[in-house]
């Protein structure tokens, strides 16, 4: 799922291409993508774009008359920018927005159709779509700590809860926790003041570093390679590959459709965290530490 750094870079490129341009036509190409009925989607046609912004992981395109297109990419949704009247990319195209200078295409790979498009009228309706997550870049340590300890859950769950923190998902939570040298399953109530400070600093650093990195990668071209698995990440998507800090093989916890990656030596004191599927299979043979695994 595209997270805060990807969404910020998308928005910067949308602003450069769309502000002041008239949205000539909207083409919903899949019956599941449009999730709102009032105002009707045709209401945006003929209106100029006045801005673009982010609400959590949602992309908002503002138009004249207080109308807002809200795109939620979910796991497999992406955006593409094509030349005017260019052929759309096959079955993955779920909506297209035609402008005088090109076409913004909303795509979604796979068949689950989780990505969505809403059209809302007015700031109040737009605010109602905000899950309420804290913007870490704008928060001080006290606000961050208060939000983190609002409920006693694991760090992984807390960082990725959109009601608590804005824009962080599976990938960057792994990177943040590795930088902070904290276990993904540590409970928020157990953190010391030093742990909180390291986590706060790591979250701010990782999000800024990766936003700048993706910004440079895209350059003047529209972002094309938006993925949760990127070269240069420390642990996310790097199962069994060496940790860049200590060289130990990166570990994982698999659950449902997600995977948490971590370094046992850097983050859990050498202890291997139980992976539901594998530890159940191996039972007593499941290694308890990174040294036993080696």
> 282 falls in which pLDDT band (50, 70, 90)?
very low
Q: What is the pLDDT of residues 116-132, one digit of tens each?
A: 999 999 999 999 999 99
Which pLDDT score, from 0 to 100, does residue 283 have? 47
> Are residues 222 and 248 located together in one domain of the fold?
yes
> Are residues 102 and 158 located together in one domain of the fold?
no
> Are residues 267 and 143 located together in one domain of the fold?
yes
Domains: count for the chain: 2
> 277 falls in which pLDDT band (50, 70, 90)?
low
Flag whether pLDDT at 53 surpasses 80: yes
Flag whether pLDDT at 287 surpasses 80: no
> Are residues 9 and 93 located together in one domain of the fold?
yes
**Least-confidence region, from 19-23, 68-72, 114-118, 272-276:** 272-276
Is residue 233 within 8 A of residue 241, CB to CB? The reply is: no
Flag whether pLDDT at 290 surpasses 80: no
Flag whether pLDDT at 180 surpasses 70: yes
> Are residues 76 and 217 located together in one domain of the fold?
no
> Are residues 30 and 77 located together in one domain of the fold?
yes
Write down the mean pLDDT value for the chain: 93
**Least-confidence region, from 8-12, 171-175, 269-273, 286-290:** 286-290
**What share of the chain in percent tops pLDDT 70?**
93
Which pLDDT score, from 0 to 100, does residue 257 have? 72
> Are residues 33 and 159 located together in one domain of the fold?
no
Q: Across-strand partners of 29? A: none
pLDDT higher at 292 or 80? 80
> Are residues 153 and 272 located together in one domain of the fold?
yes
> Are residues 42 and 177 located together in one domain of the fold?
no
Calpha distance 75→115 (Å, rounded): 8
pLDDT higher at 286 or 4? 4
End residue of a domain, out of 98, 127, 156: 127
Which pLDDT score, from 0 to 100, does residue 227 have? 87
> Are residues 120 and 182 located together in one domain of the fold?
no
Where residue 257 sits, what CATH number does that domain have?
1.10.8.50
Q: What is the pLDDT of residues 195-231, one digit of tens each?
A: 999 999 999 999 999 999 999 999 999 998 898 889 9
Which pLDDT score, from 0 to 100, does residue 291 have? 59
Calpha distance 128→183 (Å, rounded): 34
Is residue 18 within 8 A of residue 52, CB to CB? The reply is: yes
Q: State which residues form the domain around 193.
A: 136-293
DSSP 88: P
> Are residues 276 and 234 located together in one domain of the fold?
yes
Q: What is the pLDDT of residues 62-88, one digit of tens each?
A: 999 999 999 999 999 999 999 998 999
Strands (E), the chain: 22-23, 25-28, 47-55, 58-63, 67-72, 77-82, 93-99, 102-108, 116-121, 251-255, 258-262
Flag whether pLDDT at 136 surpasses 50: yes
> Are residues 164 and 108 located together in one domain of the fold?
no
Which pLDDT score, from 0 to 100, does residue 276 have? 56
Phi, psi of 78 (to 5 degrees): -145, 165
């Amino acid at each position: 799922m595209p997270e805060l750094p990807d969404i910020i870079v998308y928005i910067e490129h949308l602003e450069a291409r769309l502000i002041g341009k008239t949205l000539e036509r909207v083409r919903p190409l899949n019956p599941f993508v449009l999730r709102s009925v009032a105002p009707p989607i045709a209401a945006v046609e003929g209106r100029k774009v006045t801005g673009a912004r982010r609400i959590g992981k949602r992309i908002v395109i503002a138009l004249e008359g207080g109308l807002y297109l809200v795109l939620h990419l979910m796991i497999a949704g992406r955006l593409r920018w094509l030349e005017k009247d260019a052929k759309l990319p096959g079955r993955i195209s779920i909506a297209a927005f035609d402008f005088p200078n090109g076409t913004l295409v909303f795509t979604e790979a796979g068949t689950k159709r989780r990505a969505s498009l809403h059209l809302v009228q007015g700031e109040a309706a737009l605010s109602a779509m905000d899950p309420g997550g804290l913007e870490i870049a704008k928060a001080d340590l006290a606000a961050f700590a208060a939000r983190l300890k609002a409920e006693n859950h694991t760090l992984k769950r807390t960082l990725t809860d959109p009601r608590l923190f804005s824009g962080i998902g599976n990938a960057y939570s792994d990177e943040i926790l590795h930088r902070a040298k904290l276990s993904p399953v540590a409970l928020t109530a157990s953190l010391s003041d030093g742990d909180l400070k390291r986590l706060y600093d790591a979250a701010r650093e990782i999000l800024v570093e990766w936003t700048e990195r993706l910004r440079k990668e895209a350059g003047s071209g529209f972002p094309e390679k938006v993925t949760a698995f990127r070269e240069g990440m420390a642990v996310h998507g790097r199962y069994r590959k060496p940790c860049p800090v200590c060289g130990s093989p990166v570990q994982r916890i698999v659950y449902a459709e997600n995977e948490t990656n971590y370094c046992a030596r850097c983050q859990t004191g050498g202890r291997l965290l139980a992976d539901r599927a594998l530890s159940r299979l191996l039972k007593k043979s499941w290694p308890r530490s990174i040294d036993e695994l080696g």
